[in-house]
Structure formats: structure tokens, C-alpha cells
């Protein structure tokens, strides 16, 4: 079955349908990772978005339940050059194509993803629609694309009630993890370090968390515009004022910046991939990181009396981390838990453990 991708700038890409055959409007973004497509589509940070994989061959090692980063895929659509009809891997439990259909994701293959990626990089992230209709009215499509906005996504992806994950081995710490769209590997990284992790829904009051006797609080990644989460920002400020050790990643990093008076803005095309170089200004070392974000903290809006920039992106100089003046509080824009991507910055979890008093 033929399919068409129509972008908000009027560009049209034609190919073959994969996944479910229906119309789907979403924000189109590109990811430069060569592998990790299953972790990408199950990352809650992609809620409301369609993912263009710039690498030409996707699906070659299939899918398996172990690599899911949440209970279901969250990406709205997938755009690829070539979808492998079968997976070749000893862990393979099924094909990516069947996985897309089973989870109601639309997609298109046979697209020149190199040209599409260059377009999104030069003109910026934009809305798009995938349709299998042979005929469509361009004006109607453009009206739908103009009206679409990624919103309410944190409420959509967060868990409905708190959940406790036991520490691996002897329990050394109890951590509260705020779920704004958390990836499963973030929980695993804490559990492997001897932490019992209690994951709270996004809108949990700070008073409930602070009354739980936790040694530290972690703010997770998640989707959407951080400035939309006004109530959550207020609760994050209360967590910050409590002086409990705080570690925040991606959306959590942006929410804490907003809570302490800084500003954020939307990037032209964002950072999405597993090969972004980031410099740790404290050590002078450069790390290759996994990233997935379309918003960034304004460096000039950070009050130096509150925090200082601790990490920067080597490619474009944007803020990749903040070290706060108050003890035991630091944040990063990238993903130290990776999944997919390199694990070069896993030391940040160890730093968080140390901020809670080490291996007590």
C-alpha cells in the first residue's frame, strides 16, 4: 500500500505504508542513531512526535520485550528508508513491522530520509501528516498541520500511581523518582547502585515526596514544552527549597531551571541521537552522549548566584548541564542512562549516590 508524508512547508514524500494504515498528524523530528530504534519508539519523550530515522536500514535485528523503555511505544509515527522484513539476532522475538502494527503506529518506508533529514535540519522541526489516501485536499491537510501542537504529553505518559522498585543486592539508599516520562533504564541504573526507587506520578505534591523519608530525589526525562508544566514547576521549586539531594535529566533539568528563575526556548531542530559530544567544564573531559530534546535552557538567563553551567554541547555551545550553588543539586540535558546510546556519563549516577552520603 502506498503512503504519503506531507509536511507543513508543503514538501511531499511518497513511499510504502508500514504499521497501521490511517492518517496521523504529528511533529516530525529526526534521530541520527544507527541502532536503538526499539528504545527510541518506546521512549515517552517522543509522545506526539513522528521519528525520521536518518540511518537507512532499520529493523535488521528485530524487537524484543527486554529492550522496551516503557510499557508501550509512544512515538506516533516512524519514517525510514528501508524497513527490514525480518530481524536477525538471537534475542529477536518479532519484526519491527509487526511491532508497529500491534502498537497502532503509522509509518512510511522508501522515503529519501537523507533529503528529509536535511530539510528538517535547515528549516526546522515541523508538523507533518502520513496518509494512505490516494487523493487528499492540500488545504485541509495544511489546516490540520497548522492546528496541531504537542501538548498535554506529560499527563499522558506519566504512570497513574506510585510504584516501588527494589534495590539490587543490599539496599543502601531510598530514592524518589518523579515520572515525567521516565525511561525504564533510568530506574535500573539506580537499582543497580543499591537504591530502592519509588516512582511517583508527575503531579505528586512535593510535600508527599518530602514526607517519605527519602535520601534523594531524581527528576526524569519527558516530552513537550517544559514551560507548559506550570503546576509541576511549582512543586519542583518546593523540592529545591527543601535542600534534599536533587539530580535531574532532560525535561527534569529544564523544569528545575524554570523553577529557579531561568528560561527555556525551542530549538530549531533539537538534539536526537547517540553521538552528541558534551564537555564537562569541571573536568575538561569530552563525552559522547545520548540525547533527545527539542528545548534548551537559555545560558544567559541562569542566575550565577543560583547555578553555573557545568556541561556544554561541543557542536553548538548550548547548555547541557547545571551545577547549583545549593549543596547536592545538579542537572544534565543529555541521558546518562542512554538506552539507546553510549554509557560514557554513567558516572553522574555515582555522583548522585555520593551527594546522598555515599554507600552508607
CA angle 327, 159, 217 (to 5 degrees): 10
Q: Which of 315, 322, 240 is nearest to 280 (CA)?
A: 322
**Length in residues, the chain:** 360
305-323 in b/e burial notation, b at 16+ Cβ within 10 A? ebbebbbbbeeeebbbbbe
User: 328: how many CB neighbours lie within 10 A of its CB?
Assistant: 17
Query: CA 117, CA 345: separation in Å to the nearest integer?
Result: 27
Indicate which residues carry an active-site annotation: 250, 335, 337
E strands present in 32-122: 49-53, 57-58, 77-80, 82-83, 106-109
- Are 32 and 55 within 8 A, CB to CB? yes
Sign of CA dihedral 43, 63, 71, 68: negative
Amino acid at each position: 500500500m502506498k503512503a504519503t508524508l506531507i509536511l507543513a512547508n508543503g514538501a511531499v514524500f511518497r513511499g510504502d505504508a508500514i504499521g497501521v494504515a490511517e492518517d496521523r498528524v504529528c511533529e516530525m523530528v529526526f534521530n541520527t542513531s544507527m541502532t536503538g530504534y526499539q528504545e527510541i519508539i518506546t521512549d515517552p519523550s517522543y509522545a506526539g512526535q513522528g521519528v525520521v530515522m536518518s540511518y537507512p536500514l532499520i529493523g535488521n535485528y528485530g524487537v524484543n520485550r527486554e529492550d522496551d523503555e516503557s510499557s508501550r511505544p509512544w512515538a506516533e509515527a516512524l519514517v525510514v528508508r528501508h524497513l527490514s522484513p525480518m530481524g536477525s539476532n538471537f534475542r529477536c522475538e518479532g519484526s519491527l513491522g509487526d511491532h508497529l502494527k500491534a502498537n497502532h503506529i503509522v509509518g512510511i518506508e522508501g522515503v529519501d530520509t537523507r533529503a528529509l533529514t536535511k530539510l528538517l535540519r535547515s528549516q526546522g522541526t515541523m508538523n507533518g501528516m502520513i496518509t494512505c489516501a490516494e487523493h487528499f485536499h492540500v488545504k485541509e491537510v495544511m489546516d490540520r498541520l497548522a492546528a496541531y501542537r504537542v501538548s498535554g504529553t506529560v499527563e499522558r505518559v506519566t504512570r497513574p500511581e506510585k510504584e516501588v522498585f527494589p534495590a539490587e543486592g543490599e539496599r543502601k539508599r531510598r530514592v524518589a523518582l518523579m515520572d515525567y516520562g521516565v525511561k525504564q533504564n533510568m530506574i535500573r541504573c539506580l537499582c543497580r547502585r543499591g537504591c530502592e526507587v519509588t516512582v511517583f506520578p508527575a503531579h505528586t505534591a512535593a510535600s508527599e515526596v518530602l514526607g517519605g523519608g527519602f535520601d534523594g530525589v531524581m527528576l526524569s526525562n519527558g516530552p513537550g514544552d517544559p514551560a507548559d508544566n506550570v503546576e509541576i514547576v511549582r512543586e519542583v521549586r518546593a523540592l529545591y527549597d527543601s535542600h534534599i539531594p536533587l539530580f535531574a535529566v532532560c525535561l527534569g533539568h529544564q523544569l528545575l531551571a524554570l523553577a529557579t528563575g531561568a528560561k527555556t526556548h525551542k530549538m530549531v531542530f533539537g538534539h536526537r541521537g547517540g553521538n552528541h559530544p558534551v564537555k564537562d567544564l569541571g573536568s575538561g573531559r569530552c563525552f559522547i552522549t545520548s540525547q533527545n530534546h527539542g528545548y534548551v535552557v537559555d545560558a544567559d538567563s541562569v542566575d550565577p548566584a543560583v547555578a553555573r553551567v557545568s556541561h556544554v554541547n561541543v557542536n553548538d555551545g548550548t547548555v547541557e548541564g547545571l551545577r547549583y550553588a545549593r549543596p547536592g543539586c545538579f542537572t544534565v540535558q543529555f541521558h546518562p542512562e542512554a538506552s539507546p546510546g553510549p554509557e560514557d556519563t554513567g558516572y553522574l549516577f555515582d555522583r548522585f549516590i555520593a551527594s546522598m552520603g555515599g554507600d552508607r
